[in-house]
Amino acid sequence: MGYSLTLDQKATTRALQQIHKNTKIGITGHLIVMGLIAINLYDDISVPYFILGVIAQFAVVYARFDLYKKFDLIQYKIVEYKQTKLWLNKHKFLMFLSGLTFGLLMYFLDNPSSDVYFLVLAIVVGMAAGAIYTAGEIFEVYFAYLIGVFLPPAIWMMSQNLEIYTTGVLLMLVASCYFAMTSYKYAKNFRKMFYEEQMTKDQLRQITQQKDTLNHKAHYDDLTDLPNKFLFQDRLEQSIEKSKRHEKSLAVCFINLDNFKIINETLGHNYGDRVLIDVSIRLQDIIRSHDTIARWAGDEFILIVEDLNNENDASIFAQKILSALSEPFLVDMDTFYVTSSIGISVYPRDTDDGTHLIKYADSAMYKAKKEGRNNFKFYSDDMTKVAFERVVMEASLRTAIANEEFTVYYQPQIDAVHNKLIGMEALVRWEHPGIGLISPFRFIPLAEETGLIVGVDKIVMHKAMKQFATWYTEGYNPGVLSLNLATKNLEGDDYLEKLEDSVGRFCLDSACVELELLESDIMKDPHDAIRKLGRINELGIKIAIDDFGTGYSSLSYLKKFPLNKLKIDKSFVDDIPHDEDGKAIVKAIIALGKSLNLNLIAEGVEDKQQRDFLVENGCNNIQGYYYAKPMTADEMEKFMKKMA
Ligand code: C2E
Ligand code: CA
């Protein structure tokens, strides 16, 4: 595609070409002047003058060359007028100085034989200077130069050979005028060119700004500046595509403010608007950076929650929104309460179509409203049930930790050969004030998922250690205390200190404490586990692998772990004595434990046949209902007395 130039652009291009030509003439002129000075001073041997002249000429040549380059650049690149002006001012000063030096040189050439040369010099200098006398601003630069040149000789001329020097000056002026005239027609285009460039740049900027504003208006809500429904739909399509690629699920939450209409109708739109802005700010505070929140319409907001680890994550979000919006709103010192109802649909469980996801979330929101407001509902009923249980459970688990609603049960571990108590496992029970005892199977998974397990384990550890310390001081011999420890506990750097503190606080011998870690847990990051377990081991605390055989341990790692004990999982014990494969596995685990020099214990042993098989094959330590179920501390005291 060819470019067609406007008349002005053509004139400007021609002017630039002229400038280049003139600059070349100017540079040549100055070089000739240098040569002439050299010839003139040959006899006179005024070396300092000569050097001064050469320096002056070099300065001018340098400045002109620079100018040449500058204009060459302007041909290809937009240079701001302001920038060029700055540059020219700098050169004005330089040119004045070099002109002055040259003028002084001529002044000091007080030699009649140089008169002829002076004439030639005058013509050439005029030519060289005038050659650049083109544009308004450039004229200033050369004007400065000419003043510098003319000033000293003019003074000299007044007192000496007036005719010849008047002729010289006149010739200089004529030459300057000639070159000025040749360039003038182009000159006027320069300033215009800069202004035009500037103008088009400004206009372009304005147009882009207008475009941006229009674009923003089309995609964002005026009041809250959140994305509007059109942008939301677009983002939802992108999020679905992304989730498809990464095989993740996402949720759409449709939020409707419950009693917003009343605020709007009774107090006016102004108040209503401010509440809506406040709502949008609170919602933005909750969401993660990659989630999208939009204002759907009126008092309706909509949200995409991406990267759900499991579908319950959406209910955690919904819960957060409910509680954030149930905080009072303050407008002009008036306090309002706004609750909300939320409907949730989940991709891909409910549908993989964006429009349907929105529709489903909307209809779930109506269900939530019907069922009493200030709550959330999933599009699918069974998810609502699970989520509700979970949300309620999580909230009460937090209270349980704060109130220490946990008690510890103890299950004996027996040396079956000597029929002797060697230790016991501490097992937590949640004493819920309304429900009663809750099994760890029901709340430990949630506690692990939410990180609340750290709080639970701490309570169990302290209660059990305290109990053990009491038993030891009372003369019982409870053996080793086995504590179940979720690896989440090891995430903080201070875990080791906490452990050391606890052991110290209850004056327990660290050799009496053993930590049971799940095989599947430590295998998630074996390198890290080796390091951390090593430090625990250095404290003298023993480490056992719980549920051994279910976590796909790599044998090469197993060798490196600082372990004391393998705990054979109940699922293998269950297979004894009828299942040949099961028996073979148990034998293999025992052999493996022995070859690694580890102690062994079997859990979940319920009958004599299982016990006998284990003992016959070299696993003497037994835990299970065969000997005793987990029991309270009081029951355990009786048990210990019986065993003694
Ligand atoms: P686990 O560590 O495998 O504990 C053994 C579970 O098997 C205990 O269930 C115990 O009551 C049960 N059990 C023991 N012997 C027999 C038997 O002969 N037959 C049968 N059917 N079951 C037997 P519990 O107390 O309900 O604990 C369940 C799980 O909860 C534990 O499994 C452990 O992983 C976890 N847990 C318990 N207390 C804590 C704790 O304080 N912290 C942590 N992090 N986890 C705990
Ligand atoms: Ca255990």
The pLDDT tens digits for 386-402 are 665 677 788 889 999 99
Q: Which ligand is nearest to the CA of 428?
A: 1
- Output the six-digit token pair for 631: 């029991």
- Tell me the pLDDT band of 471, cut-offs 50, 70 and 90: very high
Cβ atoms 312, 390 nearer than 8 A: yes
Average model confidence (pLDDT) across the chain: 79
Q: How confident is the model at residue 133 (pLDDT cuts 50, 70, 90)?
A: very low
Can you tell me which atom of ligand 1 is nearest the CA of 448?
44
Q: Is 541 helix (H, G, I), strand (E, B) or coil?
A: coil
| Smallest CA separation from ligand 1 atom 35, residue | 440
Q: How far is Cα 264 from Cα 604, in angstroms, rounded to an integer? A: 64
Alpha-carbon span 49 to 415, nearest angstrom: 114
Q: Is the per-residue pLDDT at 36 higher than 80?
A: no
Residue 524 has pLDDT above 70, yes or no: yes
Q: How confident is the model at residue 606 (pLDDT cuts 50, 70, 90)?
A: very high
Q: Taking residues 186-209, report their average pLDDT.
A: 62
Residue nearest to ligand 1 atom 22, measured at CA = 604
Contacts of 235 (CB under 8 A, 6+ apart): 227, 292, 294, 304
| Residue 374 banded pLDDT, cuts 50, 70, 90 | confident
Distance separating alpha carbons of residues 101 and 98, to the nearest angstrom: 5
**Residue 131: pLDDT band by 50, 70, 90 thresholds?**
very low
Q: Per-residue confidence at 112, pLDDT binned at 50, 70, 90?
A: very low
Question: How much is the pLDDT for 304?
Answer: 95
In angstroms, what is the span from residue 213 Cα to ligand 1's centroid? Answer: 63
What's the CA gap between 373 and 204, in Å, rounded? 52
The answer to whether 224 touches 295, Cβ cutoff 8 Å, is yes
Residue 281 above 80 pLDDT? yes
Q: What's the gap between Cα 625 and its chain centre?
A: 53
Give the residue-averaged pLDDT of 606-617. Answer: 96
Could you tell me which residue, 333 or 191, shows the higher pLDDT? 333
Closest CA to 339 of 270, 223, 252, 256: 256
Q: Which of 425, 444, 461, 607 maximizes ligand 1 atoms within 8 Å of its Cβ, making it the mutation to test the pocket?
A: 444
d(CA 154, CA 238): 80
Average pLDDT over residues 61-75: 67
Distance 427 CA to ligand 1 centre (A): 6
Burial class (CB in 10 A: 0-12, 13-18, 19+), 233: middle
Residue 66 CA to residue 426 CA, distance in Å, equals 87
In tens, the pLDDT along 315-346 reads 888 888 988 888 888 877 777 778 889 999 99
Calpha distance 320→291 (Å, rounded): 14
Looking at the chain, how many residues does it have? 644
Instruction: In whole angstroms, give the CA distance from residue 317 to residue 307.
Output: 12
Q: Cβ neighbours of residue 529 under 8 Å, at least 6 residues apart? A: 487, 490, 517, 522, 523, 561
SS3 call for 148: helix
Proportion of the chain above pLDDT 70, given as a percent: 66
Find the mean pLDDT for residues 353-376.
86
Q: Is the pLDDT of residue 623 over 90?
A: yes
Cis geometry, peptide bond prior to residue 577 (ω within 30 degrees of 0)? yes
Percent of the residues in the chain that have a pLDDT greater than 90, as a whole number:
35
pLDDT at 5 over 50: no
Cα 227 from Cα 411, distance rounded (Å):
58
Query: Longest C-alpha distance within the chain, in Å?
Result: 141
Report how far Cα 506 is from the mean position of its chain's Cα atoms: 44
For range 363-372, the mean pLDDT? 82
- 3-class state of residue 568 by DSSP: strand
**Which SS3 state, helix, strand or coil, does residue 264 take?**
helix
Closest CA to 25 of 54, 64, 57, 58: 64
Q: Which of 278-287, 303-312, 604-613 bottoms out in mean pLDDT, i.e. has the lowest?
A: 303-312
Atom of ligand 1 nearest to the CA of 518: 34
Q: Hey, whose CA ends up nearest to atom 20 of ligand 1?
A: 604
Token pair for 199: 């103008």
Residue having the nearest C-alpha atom to atom 17 of ligand 1: 604
Write out pLDDT tens, residues 498-517. Answer: 888 888 888 889 899 999 99
Q: How far is the CA of 493 from the centre of ligand 2 (A)?
A: 24
Helix or strand run (H / E) with residue 60: helix 47-76
Query: Is residue 607 predicted with pLDDT exceeding 90?
Result: yes
The answer to whether the beta carbons of residues 124 and 33 sit under 8 Å apart is yes
Ligand 1 centroid – CA 419 distance (Å) = 22
Ligand 1 pocket by Cβ (under 6 Å): 411, 427-428, 439-441, 444, 453, 457, 460, 484-486, 546-547, 603-606, 624-625, 630
Q: Tell me, what's the pLDDT at 2? A: 34
Q: Are strands 334-336 and 329-331 parallel, antiparallel or unpaired?
A: antiparallel
- pLDDT score for 435: 76
pLDDT category at 550 given cuts 50, 70, 90 is confident
Distance CA 252, CA 565 (A): 48
Q: To which residue do tokens 């003028």 refer?
A: 103
- What's the pLDDT score for residue 387? 63
482 or 290, higher pLDDT: 482
Nearest ligand by distance to the CA of 445: 1
How would DSSP label each residue in 239-257? HHHHHHHHT-EEEEEEEEE
Q: What is the pTM of this model?
A: 0.51
Greater model confidence, 75 or 132: 75
Look at 154-158, 353-357, 427-431, 508-512 and tell me which has the smallest mean pLDDT: 154-158
CA of residue 290 to ligand 1 center, whole Å: 39
Lowest-confidence segment of 77-81, 183-187, 231-235, 497-501 by average pLDDT: 183-187
pLDDT value at 453 more than 70: yes
